Homo-oligomer: A and B are copies of this chain.
Amino acid sequence: MIIVMSPASTPEDLQKVQDKILQAGLQYHLSKGEFRTIVGVIGDKKIIADLQMNAFHGVEKTVRITEKYKLVSREFHPQDTIVDIGGVKVGEGHLAVMAGPCAVESMEQLMEAAQCVKKAGAQFLRGGAFKPRTSPYDFQGLEEEGLQMLRKAGDAAGLKVVTEIVNLNDIDLVCKYADVLQIGARNMQNFQLLKAVGKAKKPVLLKRGLSATINEWLNAAEYIVSEGNEDVIFCERGIRTYETFTRNTLDLSAVAAIKELSHLPVIVDPSHGTGRWQMVCPMARAAIAAGADGLMIEVHPHPEVALSDGDQSLRPVNFEHLMEEVKRVAKLMGRE
Residues of A that sit less than 8 Å from B by CB: 2, 4, 7, 20, 29-36, 38, 40, 42-46, 49-50, 52-56, 63, 65-66, 68-69, 75, 132-139, 166-169, 186-187, 189-192, 195, 210-211, 213-216, 219, 222-223, 226, 239-246, 249-253, 255-257, 259-260, 273-274, 277-279, 282-283, 285-291, 303-307, 309-311, 313, 328-329, 332
Contact = CB atoms under 8 A, between A and B. Distances in A.
Nearest to A1: B33
A278 B38 CA distance: 21
Contacts of A245: 213-215, 257
Main secondary structure of the interface of A (DSSP, over half): mixed
Given A45-B34, A52-B305, A257 B249 contact: no
Contact of A252 (B252, B303, B307): B252
A223 B138 CA distance: 11
Nearest to A78: B8
A243 B252 contact: no
A220 to B, nearest CB: 8
A73 B187 CA distance: 26
Contacts of A31: 29, 31, 40, 42
Contacts of A253: 246, 249-250, 273-274, 279, 283
Contact of A285 (B135, B192, B246, B290): B290
A225 B239 CA distance: 29
Nearest to A29: B31
Nearest to A210: B211
A328 to B, nearest CB: 6
Query: Which among A139, A259, A285, A306 has the greatest number of chain B C-beta atoms within 10 A?
Result: A285
A52 B289 contact: no
A252 B240 CA distance: 15
A35 B66 contact: yes
A73 B329 CA distance: 30
A134 B54 contact: no
A68 B132 contact: no
A208 to B, nearest CB: 10
12 contacts: A31-B40, A34-B44, A49-B138, A50-B139, A50-B307, A55-B313, A167-B192, A168-B168, A213-B242, A256-B279, A328-B332, A329-B329
Contacts of A288: 289
A46 B36 CA distance: 15
Contact of A33 (B40, B241, B260, B303): B40
Contacts of A286: 252, 286-287, 289-290
B250 A49 contact: no
